[in-house]
Structure 1
Amino acid sequence: MQQESIYNLIPKEYVPPPKEPMYRSAYPNGLVPTASTFNNHTTSRPQVNNINGDFQLAKGPHTHKGQSNSLGKPKGSYKPDATMFRMKNTGTMGSNQLPEIQQFKYPQSCKAAVPKKDEKPIHGLKSNKNFIVTNAVENILSAPKQITEEKEWTQKKDYGKVPDYLTKIQSSINNEYEIIRNMHLSEAEDRDKQKYLMTSEEVEHLKLGLKKKWESVNKEYQSITHIRMIDTVGLKRKKEQCEKELALLEKDIEKLNKNYVFIDTQK
């Protein structure tokens, strides 16, 4: 533990910490990441480098080390078949022979034919229907329109009265207010029952005890304050504790000086 001294106020000279050695990786700095596809040397087949995580890279853009292969047949098991080779006109483009020539046929679903130049449309069609008589008969046989009279809202039975739903809402609100008021009254009565009034003899006896306690704490406090220099932590804490106790005792004595003193039994 560092002791208090005036020399501690002197700023100390800053000594920089020693530098650690520069970090050097244990792996080669030119190593390509595992299964890297970078550096495709202008080819359609991507290059795969460092497939096994080795330090030595494979040579060439299309090769890699196959020591840990798990797919395909083992090396040397492929035997080429001399009869299986690409023959003429068997590629993906099909044969070079053209199909047979066939006569062109229109599809079945087509639009109507255009009228010929010698066909004439029919004009001047006439009808023997008498529209005047027909209109008159329809009006005679039709039922007359019913005239709907406008409602007179001022003639309603409940006009000017408070709606029923508003009276129901008001009654429910009043009931809630009544329940809350009764609950507050019951809580206040319970709180009043928990308190009782102290007699004058009890108050005097309690004040006498508090004064004796105050005198003993004050005596201890005066003995500390007469010390010329309070330079220890224990004396400082003892002085602060005495000040707090004296303040609390004075506050309690001031409360007991009132005309009526009640005690809450729940606390």
Structure 2
Amino acid sequence: MNLPCTSESIYNLIPSDLKEPPPPPRYTSVFTSSVKDDLKKFKTAMKTMGPAKVEVPSPKDFLKKHSKEKPLPPKTKFNRDVPKKPAVPLRTDHPIMGIQSGKNFINTNAADVIMGVARKPKPIYVDKRTGDKHDLETSGLLPKYINKKDYGITPEYICKRNEDVKKAQEEYNKYVQENLKKAAMKRLSDEEREAVLQGLKKNWEEVHKEFQSLSVFIDSIPKKIRKQKLEEEMRQLEHDISVIAKHKVIYIANK
């Protein structure tokens, strides 16, 4: 009878090399081929800018030596006969001595200093405690614009624009006045106003008389509607009578 091998078997005394299991196969997308094809197609389509076929330059138009250097000015022949500087004085030559001027330079300089205008100091500003000085005129702190001749004067284009706006406003006002004259409202005279007022009062009396003739018991919908209509008419007539009685001057717009 064959017994199974346990951990205490003699065959397990010598350790054997552990064999690592093989790695699983690498994942490969099913869209790899399609992506490659799309990449090649679009990349080839945008590979160059401009026409695909370019004219090949001629071999004769190659870059020659010193072709990009600036040409030198033409050479001129040096003339040795014309001296550039005056000749050196000889050893025997002596300067002219004994010439004196009658001008008193000391008194002249003193008079120039006394009568001259004192020089104004250059405006400066100091921005550090160590005493660093800077020019004030170029710093932007000096108000130069207020000293200009045209400072505070309205520019010419703004004056012209204001005149155009004023002219347009005058034309608009004239147009409005003409329209108002065309559509001028008619004023009611005192007699017409009194006649309208009496007519409104007479209408109110008739509506009021009809309202008083209603039955005491309002027990149906038509009666309620009739009563509401008469009340609305009386309210409107009272409003019109009060308006006309309150205002002495009444205008009527022309249709």
- TM-score norm. by structure 2 comes to 0.38
Higher RCO, 1 or 2 (CA under 8 Å, sep at least 6)? 2
The structure richer in helix per residue is 2
